[in-house]
């Protein structure tokens, strides 16, 4: 079952908030829902909710729940069924169950089919040979009741042959096929299964694969895959969550030409600087605490816990709290930070979500001072490419060369890096962008490419950015991962790792 967390719904920035406040309010409302036709894409959705009164509400994957999903941290939800039966996304995305035969079994099966083919050929050749021979030798086969009426045939044979049935020579084909059945290696299957069973027992009793911390031994759930393990020559692996623990921790950052988090400049020094002066470090921490889709939630002990779509975002929000700008609340109107000088309220005007193509996320907010500001975070090559030309775009970060050196140092330590930037907009620029962004969000109809329209709208504000600094997050390797990689190398297995980290 696929769980749907509250952060995804909250990340929709309350675009549908206020349309229906309660089930009773929905009784007198009329709605029209326009959305894309049935397809097999389970990670995207495009639609528009058109109420009888009020503005249109854009719908995307954050409001779309797949069949069989579970809503958590949700007391009440009003919805409408978009697809049913064979038109549901899961059914459209379904594929045939792949074969679970091992490579050895496939080879043996192909050998058996080849042997059966040879048997058919041999049987047919034998049958044809027999027919040819029978045509020439039939006159001498009176003792088999062929031409038994000849005068030289004893009377006893003729009497017995009168009650016998004669078969055509072609009917001997099944006879030859049965005679050749010993060519099929039926016992080979039994031998292979016995070997696989014994090998599976060896795996179950292997103490080197016993996990003492969880008291869990290895279990070979299927025995027919043992031979495939010995054929592996390449391993293609993801890094995050596979080689690493997927537990992100904020470790270091760079702002104003200084790298914090090391022995020379600890994070406590940065925290003190943020509390005393309005500097690049404060701008960096503010972006960390505002530009995200995290939802705060209080547990039974009254402590605030963060619910995030990704552990990276949670680590950045935790880092902002360590630096003195704690993310406190989120509501449809904006975000509140607990700072040194009291609460700071940021009105969220638009959220430009992260995706694999953009490689960045931006949030348009109105600061407590009333300034419309775009806050952006993303991959270094993307954000630096959107910055102002020359050193002006990286002045707050201490210069482009200084920032690049800090990023290289972070990458050498094996840390995950992000570059943070911002840009102040005039009220006219902000109003124009919101209008264009809203039109792109609610665009619908045949031939309308909403993703392209959103990208074009985002490009109007995600430019001439002022880079503030960079962050570095640690994702520790799994226990024993280096030793495992070394053992794979000894076995001649080549390991390929897919990662988006800077290397």
Q: What is the DSSP code string of 212-226? A: TTTTB----S-STTH
Burial-class residue 489 by CB neighbours within 10 Å (0-12, 13-18, 19+).
Answer: exposed
Q: CA angle 107-109-113, nearest 5°?
A: 115
Helices (H), 243-310: 267-276, 280-290
Q: Per the structure block, which two tokens stand in for 270?
A: 């940065």
pLDDT over 90 percentage in the chain = 32
Say if residue 4's pLDDT is above 50.
no
pLDDT of the residue at 1:
29
- Beta strands across the sheet bearing 372-378: 258-260, 244-255, 466-477, 416-425, 372-378, 360-366, 342-352, 334-339, 326-331
For residue 376, what are the contacts with CB-CB under 8 A and spacing of at least 6? 287, 291, 360, 361, 362, 363, 383, 386, 420, 421, 422, 423, 462, 465
Please report which confidence band the pLDDT of residue 73 belongs to, taking 50, 70 and 90 as the band edges. low
**For 340-349, what is each residue's pLDDT tens digit?**
888 999 999 9
Between these two residues, 18 and 143, which has the higher pLDDT value? 143
Tell me, yes or no, if the pTM score tops 0.85.
no
Mean pLDDT estimate for the chain: 84
Q: Is 238 among the residues known to form the active site?
A: yes
CA-nearest of 299, 421, 429 to 360 is 421
SS3 of residue 415 by DSSP: coil
Say if residue 302's pLDDT is above 60.
yes
Interatomic CA distance for residues 462 and 193, integer angstroms: 62
pLDDT of the residue at 429:
94
pLDDT of the residue at 282:
92
Interatomic CA distance for residues 254 and 218, integer angstroms: 44
Average pLDDT rounded to a whole number, residues 385-407: 88
Backbone angles phi, psi at 452, to 5 degrees: -70, -40
Average pLDDT rounded to a whole number, residues 191-217: 87
In the set 204, 206, 238, 479, the catalytic residue is: 238
Q: Are 305 and 297 in contact (CB under 8 A)?
A: yes
Say if residue 288's pLDDT is above 70.
yes
Q: Per the structure block, which two tokens stand in for 380?
A: 């270094």
CA-nearest of 280, 321, 314, 327 to 469 is 280
Say if residue 148's pLDDT is above 70.
no
Say if residue 147's pLDDT is above 70.
no
Q: Are 239 and 478 in contact (CB under 8 A)?
A: no
């Amino acid at each position: 079952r696929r769980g749907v967390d509250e952060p995804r719904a909250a990340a929709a920035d309350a675009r549908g908030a206020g349309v229906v406040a309660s089930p009773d309010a929905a009784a007198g409302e009329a709605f029209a829902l326009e959305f894309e036709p049935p397809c097999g894409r389970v990670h995207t959705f495009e639609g528009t909710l058109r109420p009888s009164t009020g503005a249109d509400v854009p719908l995307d994957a954050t409001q779309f729940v797949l069949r069989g999903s579970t809503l958590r941290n949700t007391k009440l939800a009003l919805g409408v069924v978009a697809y049913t039966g064979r038109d549901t996304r899961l059914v459209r995305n379904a594929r045939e169950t792949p074969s679970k035969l091992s490579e050895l079994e496939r080879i043996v099966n192909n050998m058996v089919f080849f042997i059966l083919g040879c048997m058919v050929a041999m049987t047919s050749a034998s049958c044809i040979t027999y027919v040819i021979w029978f045509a020439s030798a039939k006159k001498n086969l009176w003792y088999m009741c062929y031409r038994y009426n000849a005068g030289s045939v004893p009377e006893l044979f003729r009497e017995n042959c009168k009650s016998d049935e004669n078969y055509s020579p072609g009917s001997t084909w099944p006879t030859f096929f049965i005679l050749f059945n010993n060519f099929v290696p039926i016992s080979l299957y039994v031998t292979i299964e016995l070997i696989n069973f014994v090998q599976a027992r060896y795996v179950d009793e292997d103490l080197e694969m016993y996990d003492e911390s969880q008291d869990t031994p290895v279990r070979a759930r299927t025995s027919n895959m043992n031979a495939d393990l010995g054929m592996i020559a390449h391993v293609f692996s993801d890094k995050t969550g596979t080689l690493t623990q997927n537990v992100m921790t904020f470790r270091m950052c760079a702002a104003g030409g200084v790298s914090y988090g090391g022995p020379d400049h600890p994070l406590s020094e940065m925290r003190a600087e943020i509390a005393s002066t309005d500097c690049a470090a404060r701008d960096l921490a503010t972006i960390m605490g505002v530009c995200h889709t995290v939802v705060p939630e209080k547990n039974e002990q009254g402590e605030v816990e963060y619910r995030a779509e990704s552990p990276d975002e949670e680590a950045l929000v935790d880092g902002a709290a360590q630096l003195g700008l704690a993310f406190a609340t989120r509501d449809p109107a904006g975000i509140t930070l607990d700072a040194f000088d009291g609460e700071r309220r940021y009105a969220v005007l638009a959220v430009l979500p992260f995706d694999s193509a953009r490689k960045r996320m931006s949030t348009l907010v109105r600061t407590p001072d009333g300034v419309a500001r775009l806050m952006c975070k993303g991959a270094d090559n993307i954000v630096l490419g959107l910055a102002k030309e020359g050193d002006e775009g990286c002045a707050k970060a201490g210069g482009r060369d200084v920032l690049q050196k800090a990023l290289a140092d972070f990458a050498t330590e094996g840390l995950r890096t992000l570059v943070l930037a911002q840009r102040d907009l005039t009220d006219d620029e902000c109003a124009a962008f919101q209008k264009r962004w809203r039109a792109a969000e609610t665009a619908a109809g045949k031939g309308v490419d909403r993703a392209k329209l959103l990208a074009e709208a985002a490009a109007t504000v995600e430019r001439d950015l002022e880079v503030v600094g960079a962050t570095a997050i640690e994702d520790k390797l799994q226990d024993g991962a280096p030793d495992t990689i070394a053992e794979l190398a000894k076995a001649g297995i080549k390991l390929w790792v897919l990662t988006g980290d800077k290397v």
